[in-house]
């Protein structure tokens, strides 16, 4: 009787191997490829604002901008060349991390425009301690756009000289 069950077991094993093999032969693979296209080239200027005494307020502008301190690097601080209309410029800063200022404001103004929606000198956005990021400046035409900075700072009292750096991350995206 055991030989009979053993024979049936081997017979069932013999039938299961082709079923498993058939399953393996039914599997498939698919490959998807995609190219990410660059929509913009961004160039940024760095600027050293120098010293500020506690309690002092200074306004920094590009050369010829009429601020307390004029710096050439604040002119065309951001330059972006886009190959598409309807690109969006995002500015994200760490201004909200600054604790040694009662005022820190960066006004971003158009200094070169494409198309007719904006004019040179128009304000694109303002970054502040309370609002350190700007979701999007609509660049509605392909071409080269440039932006100037106007910075106003008021230092709070500090215990010792305190070097400060503000970081602004500039990104561009297209929705088309």
CB 164 within 8 A of CB 98: yes
pLDDT computed for residue 158 by the predictor: 92
CB-CB neighbours of 145 under 10 Å: 26
For the chain, the first-to-last Cα distance in angstroms comes to: 75
pLDDT computed for residue 36 by the predictor: 80
CB 85 within 8 A of CB 141: yes
Give φ, ψ of 65 to 5 degrees. -85, -15
Share of the chain above pLDDT 90, in %: 67
Q: DSSP of 44-60, one letter per residue?
A: E---------TT-EEEE
Per-residue pLDDT of 72-125, as tens digits, reads 999 999 999 998 888 899 999 999 999 999 999 999 999 999 987 899 999 999
Distance CA 107, CA 93 (A): 13
Residue 28 has pLDDT above 90, yes or no: no
């Amino acid at each position: 009787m055991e030989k009979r069950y053993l024979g049936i077991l081997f017979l069932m094993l013999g039938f299961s191997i082709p079923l498993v093999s058939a399953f393996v032969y039914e599997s498939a693979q698919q490959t998807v490829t995609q190219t990410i296209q660059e929509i913009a080239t961004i160039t940024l200027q760095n600027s050293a604002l120098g010293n500020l005494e506690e309690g002092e307020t200074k306004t920094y502008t590009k050369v010829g901008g009429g601020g307390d301190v004029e710096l050439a690097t604040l002119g065309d601080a951001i330059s972006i060349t886009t190959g598409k209309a309807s690109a969006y410029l995002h500015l994200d800063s760490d201004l909200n991390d600054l604790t040694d200022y009662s005022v820190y404001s960066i006004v971003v103004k158009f200094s070169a425009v494409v198309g007719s929606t904006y004019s040179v000198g128009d304000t694109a956005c303002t970054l502040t301690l309370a609002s350190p990021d700007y979701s999007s400046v609509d660049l509605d035409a392909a071409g080269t756009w440039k932006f100037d900075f106007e910075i106003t700072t008021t230092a709070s009292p500090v215990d010792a000289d305190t070097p400060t750096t503000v970081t602004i991350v500039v990104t561009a995206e297209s929705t088309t």
